[in-house]
Structure 1
Amino acid sequence: MGHLSPIRRGHAALRRGRTSLPNQVYLVTFTTHLRQSVFTDDACACAMSRAVTDPRLWPSSELLAWVLMPDHWHGLLALGERDYLPSLVQRVKTNTARHVRQVDPTIERVWSKAYHDRALRAEDDIVVAARYVVMNPVRAGLVQRVGQYPYWNAIWL
């Protein structure tokens, strides 16, 4: 009997048929484990912000815009020639979680296993997508103006 491929369930099933294209711009979102508000703690939010912007994390891909919310992260990224989106997301989550747990060792798991991604179509305006990302704190009612929120950035600034 031949080798049967495993049945993909849950989040793995959502990835079936998805591609990871170099030079493609993706909007990526991932949540904290059990949607805990880990990043209401300034020390954890600062550690995450420093870690996610570390250039060593982005040797091939480029982080165009991002925002850290109390229980999730949004990033707009251009996938590099040498990167594969699932591997890049795993690298970002692993690296940032390590830094957050150094600040607060009581946190066992920072991120949920899953993430959501959307490839921007050619006609999509990257700057509009970036504005959507960084305006999250305003839409959530955390601040009245994005400049009042400390945990975001965009390459256009």
Structure 2
Amino acid sequence: MPELSASHRLRIGRYAEQNRIYLLTANTLGREPVFKDYTLGRMVVHQFKQAQSEGFADSLAWVVMPDHFHWLVQLQKGSLGQLMCQAKSLSTRSINSASGRTGSLWQQSFHDHALRQEESLVRVARYVVANPLRAGLVEKLGDYPLWDAIWV
């Protein structure tokens, strides 16, 4: 049997369930800090909002870090793969157009974690939005421009 790459092993057994809450994470290619540029980060945020307005997922909390994002969603329709493919491909297109970049922006796959009943939704949301504090990018959460949560 041929050896599978890490990205292919991630997809084995991936199952998406409607109305389930997932924490999704995607990294930029080579962990390049593309989103140090606030306007480029806003283009990723636009894709989160677009996915919600089209009924694919309800965004509960998110943060766009310089080289990755965390997105806490409640999946409404489609699969996680479809949701992430759309968000990553559309954001790549708009960011490349705006910045003069070409080629891939994101690493091929993504990480997903389905929240279990015993996990605290608020605890996970706090983890997501506190990323800039833990990374030392800001001293107060309100100083970081690329995050949101439905509880604020």
TM superposition score normalised by structure 2: 0.90
1:3-42 matches, within 5 Å, as 8-42=4-38
- Range that drifts further, 5-14 or 68-77: 5-14
Paired letter, 1:120: L
State the 1:147 CA deviation.
0.6
Distance in 1 (alpha carbons) for counterparts of 2:81 and 2:89: 12
Paired letter, 1:31: N
Which structure 2 residue ranges, 5 or more long, are not aligned? none
Is 1:101 the counterpart of 2:96? The answer is: yes
Is 1:147 the counterpart of 2:142? The answer is: yes
TM superposition score normalised by structure 1: 0.88
State the 1:44 CA deviation.
1.2
**Paired residue for 2:47, among 33, 48, 51?**
51
Distance in 2 (alpha carbons) for counterparts of 1:88 and 1:71: 19
Q: Deviations over 1:82-123 (max 9, x none)?
A: 221111111111111122112112242211101111110011
State the 1:23 CA deviation.
1.0
Q: Measured at CA, do residues 127 and 97 of structure 1 come closer, stay the same or move farther in structure 2, by a change above 3 Å? A: same
| Percent of pairs with identical residues | 37
Superposed CA RMSD in Å reads 1.9
Q: Who is 2:62 aligned against?
A: 66
Q: Deviations over 1:133-154 (max 9, x none)?
A: 0000000000011111000111
Query: How many residues are aligned here?
Result: 152
Q: Secondary structure at the match of 1:50?
A: helix
State the 1:131 CA deviation.
0.6
Q: Secondary structure at the match of 2:148?
A: strand
